[in-house]
Structure 1
């Protein structure tokens, strides 16, 4: 396993550090999460009001006791409260089944939101029958409430919860129904879908996306102001309209949506090619502590643009401000610069790296994992490294998938598990990651977790070399020395097959059969 830390060679350009560009700024999608909602249920008028008020005040046990007799009488609000208490474990022992039962009774008693809470629990089930039951609940609800039910159904289909794989057409169908009912969050989700921001690039329809952003904005959804204004200024040339774009962004600024300055600055910098005007605009956003504008100002200082003198000191000062304002990319850049100084400040870099990792940046999570595994801070903690690699790997970060696979292969911080290693190497290899491709080659060459397959190992090692993994050359030479002529020819055919589509389609080694004496 290669254990050198990538942090020491990390050199991000500030141009790419602002990946959250206004040109792609959109409203976030709805989420079908397993986590309980943070906010307590709203307080209704009626017999259950005292119970709801007690729950809101944190008196969960008292609230449940007040709700129980009302629930026995069929009061919908009280039944909903008992479902919420069971779902969240507040006032009642957390119980999925109890929550489902109470929500079902509340829905039957006429509580609309109970259907949605019940459906969300069912949709997040590992059981197919539960997810389909959730679908049926929502489809029934859509008869009278197409907006909310349609929005949730659209996401469920997009996430592949109701089919073997994500279904664009079904998602579009339900979000269209919700949109027709005037649900602006669904309109924005549909716009992102047609824009290609949610996958399915082959279905991209920029004109349709623009039409939907306009619809949401015209209905008064403030979340549409920046995406629409940005696309008028920075989108495809055929859709550009500077006057209208500036008008929508001005409305966003009136609503204190200061990311609008990022879109305006992006227009000045990349469309009008006026760096001084761009800097002035970014500085306006920076005055409002908008993280990405702060990051752009830092870039201008570091690179000496917009009429500024190049200044590492001022650039870092602005990077620090951006990181403090919540920019994960600024924190990562600061970590990189501190670690690459002539006298590296690893503790300072660590502080910024933790900030970026906690903000959910996979690159930072992977780098933090490397720090822990390598012991660069003076103490090795492979278990912590595994935790950070796992977070990044779940986000699809190829390097983290490879690093975690290597830990499973070596038994560092986790028990040796060749099947897990193979699965992780496969995920990274299918993204073109050279060391992960070599990892798969090692498993097949050594018969680790699978039957030994030297031709396949040779093909994978060859591919790893082509993908730039220098260490794979030694592995390839070792495997080649063990092949006879027929095996080498088979390996060459395997390599051709792997390269045919530009995708390895590599599969993790299947578990080796258990020998009789091991049973």
Structure 2
């Protein structure tokens, strides 16, 4: 009874976004062998909520729960095996776990299995088998399954080509908000495939998908403006949409880094804001030299921003490092950003990810954004190494009591 009460409290904490509390509640329950707790705990490690993102730990807990038949854990383990995150890549094993999860009936898991067959994960591409599983997920109303099944009917892969069926599936998914389906539905209206040609309807669907940021839809909407199809011809609007579409395709880590710059701890007063900035700087430097992490962070900020002269990112990096090692989360974020961009320190994605990961686990939202944008630039081996370093850094900081959480 006590275990079930603790599990209920853990799920309540998860629903409220209290991830650190959920982690504390779930860990002993998972260690006692409760599959639901093991699966939920794995999810925290998988997404880096309340703890540094750690695919190896996620895989270990997913496996324990998967072996007890937990479908979410089977699916989670399959994803990590497919990509080689936290475990050696094994796409054959991934397919087996995708199937175990899908056979328990959840639409999301059936969709993932269908996608594995569609993309040839652990098996040669098999559009017929993909169509079967997409159909099962689509019949439960899963929008992305409806959209993917629509693609198969549109192309005739794995099923007889049927434009009417494709249109029906695209429409069902589009009405649920699937940007991909909205764009595909717009294309069918543009070409008059399976439906009477209707440029105005095409514009409406392209716009809905474009508003969700889908690059293809943004470009397609640009084409409509460019040619005056279904809307008043507007060269300026077309050019802007083409530009935006091109940028959306290339948005990666650099864009996030450029937007964030370097972060400043909102709990601190602005640096050099007294009537005597020279005296304030001297006092800050003296306190930093004596090991005060807040002063170290503020001195680093002054140096990085060049508030008293030319920016000095090398010295700023040294002071950010001292502050980060003392547990100041904003310093961790900025040190990670310097490593990722190679400013003031040699560029090192592993060390950059390590510091960003610890900061993200501590609640620094800019760090969460960077961590989530960093993946495409790194190999699974680099991510696995960085996560090991981050977990060790996190444990050390927690044990020594120096970690300063973001408020």
The TM-score, its normalising length taken from structure 1, stands at 0.40
Q: TM-score, normalized by length of structure 2?
A: 0.50
More helix by share: 2
Bigger Rg over Cα: 1
